[in-house]
Chains A and B, each alone.
Chain A
């Protein structure tokens, strides 16, 4: 199982009309899609409008999404087109086309940094520092489970085999590791309204 399996699960439910599932996809990807749109459009208000429009378009076209590409790649293309159409409608000239390579690089987080403001980058750096610090402070068994999941992309079954423990234990360890990190993240940035 991978993150794209999660997307696939949520997409399938959203395709059957479950808005709650689509809501989780919006929450998951709105930051990255907003960053993509801001590549084309400078005005923050317009970025938000176009990002919203992209998600609405995606939902309405969701019945035609067949999973031939990753959901995020598909969503990325819709957002890029929405941004370009917005510029055309405003009489401005859209820039270069977004490509699949861009989407993949973007999905890796690479382009996000490049296109973010200094403030956003500083916030990202701060978050990265807190996460790293929290990860290192975890008990060994929690850190191992989370690292195998997040960095190696192993399924719970595979992690159970590697660590020699039941799948239920893996699930519990990963949960506890995330809770510990989340606790630190919340404490560290509770006064920072930029991160939600």
Chain B
């Protein structure tokens, strides 16, 4: 089958995310059958990167065929969600539930930031609820929650925050180490508690 201008134009539009689903499917089918289209796709990406950065020079490497062969030969590994559930739960449950025990009869009124307010992205973790983590990024300013009607003594709230942060810091290295050694999928290498300056600022509030 020969490469047509229609195929090439669709490939160009695909680069820009401008293909509708039907045409996308047709183009994927054509690319998988046509080595020239695959090569062209790769070249167009390099040209695009060059235009955008003017200084891209990646090493020559092509693992695409071996990756495809490997994925076609071996179906998806069965994933054991217990790993990630255990890892994520070990941190989040210890911190959140442990702290909540102190809040047995009242809700927080503190204006200090809560652990759940820590800056950073919500990170998907296999088999577990997303957890929020800094992912090695710098801490970002934390907005504080407004005080609520049901009051709790400030010293209890502050104690909860201190305990929670201490637990967080203690468990974080274990979490990172366990994930690095045993998790078959992407893991969160670091989950940071707010830095000292932020904590002190919050306490001053």
Contact = CB atoms under 8 A, between A and B. Distances in A.
Contact of A178 (B12, B56, B60, B76): B12
Contacts of A61: 126, 185-186
Contact of A56 (B16, B32, B40, B71): B71
B68 A23 contact: yes
A139 interface: no
A56 B58 contact: no
B12 A48 contact: no
A165 interface: no
A6 interface: yes
A9 interface: yes
A149 to B, nearest CB: 6
Contact of B16 (A8, A108, A156, A195): A156
B135 to A, nearest CB: 6
B190 interface: yes
B63 interface: yes
B52 A6 contact: no
Interface string A21-37: 11110111011101100
B130 to A, nearest CB: 7
Nearest to A6: B17
B103 interface: no
A47 interface: yes
Interface in A32-91: 32, 34-35, 38, 44, 47-48, 51-52, 55-61, 64-66, 68-69, 74, 77-78, 81, 84-85, 88
Contact of A60 (B48, B63, B66, B76): B76
B46 A175 contact: no
A28 B56 CA distance: 13
A171 B64 contact: no
A142 interface: no
B55 A150 contact: no
Nearest to A77: B186
B192 to A, nearest CB: 12
Most buried by A among B12, B18, B58, B64: B58
B28 A66 contact: no
A20 interface: yes
Nearest to A186: B43
A74 B59 contact: no
Given A85-B180, A174-B12, A27 B41 contact: yes
B89 interface: no
A60 B67 CA distance: 12
A5 B19 CA distance: 10
B178 interface: no
24 contacts: A19-B71, A20-B32, A24-B31, A28-B41, A30-B62, A31-B60, A35-B59, A47-B59, A51-B63, A57-B185, A66-B124, A77-B135, A100-B137, A109-B53, A110-B53, A116-B59, A124-B56, A124-B57, A135-B51, A146-B51, A150-B48, A156-B18, A174-B13, A196-B42
Interface of B: 8-9, 12-19, 24-25, 28-29, 31-32, 38-64, 66-68, 70-72, 76-77, 79, 121-126, 130, 135-138, 180, 184-187, 189-190
Interface of A: 1-6, 8-9, 13, 18-24, 26-28, 30-32, 34-35, 38, 44, 47-48, 51-52, 55-61, 64-66, 68-69, 74, 77-78, 81, 84-85, 88, 97-101, 108-110, 112-113, 116-117, 120-125, 127-128, 131-132, 135, 146, 149-151, 155-156, 171-172, 174-175, 178-179, 181-182, 185-186, 193-196
